[in-house]
A and B are shown apart, each in its own frame.
Chain A
Amino acid sequence: MTAGTVAAPGRVAPGTAARGGRSLVGGRGGIWFVLPFLLVYAAFVLWPLVYGLSLSFFDTSLVRSESQFVGLANYARLFSDPEVWRTLGVTVLFTIGSTIPLVAVALVMALLVQTGVRGQWFWRFAYFAPFLLPVATVALIWQWLFSGDYGLLNGVLSGLGLPAVGWLTEPDIGLWSVVILTVWWTVGFNFLLYLAALQAIPAQLYEAAEIDGAGGWRRLFSITLPLLNRTTGLVVVLQVLASLKLFDQAYILYQANGGPGGSATPILQYVYETGFVDYRLGYASAISYMFFVLIILIALVQARLSRRSEL
């Protein structure tokens, strides 16, 4: 749409300006609307982003006043730092291990609720309420549930005649306890996204299928699930990006000790410890940046994959 097709100056066919092109409609002084946001954005996102990058080239430490330019030394060091790779591995394992149940359980919840069984308010409340709890509340509750001797989980297991599990003490299990906590806490968000997608499917499709004699399972696999493909793609992307940022719940659940044998120390916790416990700000910035680049790469790969699957 160009201004050339417009008959009278200053008038545009309805709807054309909405596309953000070069419409003739549009107020003056727009920069003043955008400026306050941009200033805050520049001060608290863009500037720290640049500052962090520059920090990563110095051996800056909170405890010394002067710092030296060390070039790429911080980056060279992180590639040979086993703790970087180990904690990155924890983050990746958590991301894979949590994304699958967080998507699958959310989908099952939404499908069940969408059947329209009585008690909609209650189901939505039960499934979504944990998402509204602050992370510290969630971590404290689960610390108590996971507790070895007096915890509810082991109490139930012993009631069933099963041996107790070291939820918070066994290196092979520590991270999975964080996964369980996270699924319980945040699945409600994905559940809502699926519910919204399900409600957008036209009922006529189901009515037509029913006239053709399709049963409940048939309707599920031939109509509902194929139509949810796009939503699933989006939910997976959002979930992977969210899971990669694991820190809060693991940090609080294990009271900053990183879990049994360090098995639940995500890379962001390593950044935090390097920066705020060891005060090695330059090195912490370098790890942050490496992780940032990784996140961007994963996002790009996901975007490409989901575009391809839509074709």
Chain B
Amino acid sequence: MTTAPDTANPATTPLLPRARRPRSDDGPADVRRYTPLARAGIITALLVVAVLWLAPLIWALLTSLKQEADTTTVPIEVIPDRGFTLQAYASVLADGNLVTWFVNSTVVALVVTVLTVALSAAAAYGFSRTRFRGRNALFALTIAGIMVPPQILIVPLYRQMLAMGLADTYAGIILPQLVLPAMVFILKKFFDGIPHELEEAARVDGAGSLRIFLQIVLPLSRSILAAVSIFVFIHAWNNFLWPFIITSDPGLMTLPVGLVQVQSAFGVRYAQVMASAILAGLPLIVVFMLFQRQIIRGVATTGLGGT
């Protein structure tokens, strides 16, 4: 046992470390503690699971690259004699709607993320660092919201949106998605941990609450704000039920909702259905490939935060 921190060992380095570790460190020293046989077993198991988890995606990709006639052969052809083609993608994109839905999804997810994070951070700051009458009661009310599943609100919310004239509008899609009390809770917990000395010094210098929030608290909270933003974005990008209920105009649909239309429109044209499914799934997968570390850290920190 050494007394110095063992930075070579991933088990002692901080959770999902901030700094990118060198590539050679991917296989940590830790591994040597397993016998060659055990190691072979671990790698085999890892590979089997990886194959099971990637196979559906690879199969969807292969199907999307086939000619329609080659998708329904018996027995199954993994690689068709006639080779691969981008035909399915061309026809799906020419259809036009997919692009519209992609734009809608991007706009909705970005607006929801920015507004949710802004509302939640401001509220969390108010609950954490300011005092006002009824603060504790209002915070309890906010926390109670974690227990309300949005799914049970669809009927009254839909009627309310009809009455407000917000059915089939961006506002109608976005507004109900802005309330994530768990995010207020996570941010408040983080703000609670920021030392008060900085804030007090600023207050002595005459800074008001707003300036302290914007110039001290927010810059110190970049990591947690990133984590919350990632979580909210994924949530909004993939949200199905509410956008599905509130939109009937194909021009306003988001990707997950529009894709359900594809199902009935393309029917048994499997190559086109798979091409649409892949195009809809691709953006977040690519983002994940580029920012794996940040996304994993974001999901891991927010994942258990609500409990």
Contacts and interface: CB of A to CB of B under 8 A. Distances in A.
Given A121-B26, A192-B296, A130 B15 contact: no
A288 B155 contact: yes
Contacts of A255: 263-264
B242 to A, nearest CB: 10
Given A48-B153, A155-B75, A113 B209 contact: no
A74 to B, nearest CB: 12
Where chain B touches its partner, the secondary structure class is: helix
A123 B296 contact: no
B75 to A, nearest CB: 6
A15 B12 CA distance: 27
A221 interface: no
A29 to B, nearest CB: 5
B156 A51 contact: yes
Given A31-B132, A255-B264, A137 B281 contact: yes
Nearest to B159: A281
Given A204-B1, A268-B151, A295-B149, A144 B270 contact: yes
Contacts of A305: none
Contacts of A44: 157, 175-176, 178-179
Contact of A144 (B39, B153, B273): B273
Given A44-B176, A149-B72, A134 B259 contact: yes
A292 B38 CA distance: 48
B151 A245 contact: yes
Contact of A126 (B50, B71, B127): B50
Given A30-B135, A150-B71, 9 more contacts: A18-B196, A30-B132, A33-B123, A108-B45, A132-B284, A134-B281, A210-B33, A216-B33, A216-B34
Contacts of A30: 126-127, 129-132, 135, 209
B31 interface: yes
B42 interface: yes
Contact of A49 (B26, B56, B153): B153
A76 B66 CA distance: 55
Contacts of A102: none
Interface of B: 1, 6, 9-12, 15-16, 26-28, 30-31, 33-34, 38-39, 42-43, 45-46, 49-50, 53-57, 59-60, 63, 71-76, 119-120, 122-123, 125-132, 135-136, 138, 142, 145, 147-149, 151-160, 175-176, 178-179, 181, 184, 192-193, 195-197, 199-200, 203, 208-210, 212-213, 234, 237-238, 240-241, 245, 255-257, 259-260, 262-264, 270, 273-274, 276-278, 280-281, 284-285, 288-289, 292, 296, 299-301, 303-304, 307
A31 B126 contact: yes
A143 B264 CA distance: 13
Given A127-B50, A255-B263, A55 B192 contact: no
A189 B1 CA distance: 34
B179 A52 contact: no
B38 to A, nearest CB: 6
Contact of A27 (B72, B203, B301): B203
A14 B196 contact: yes
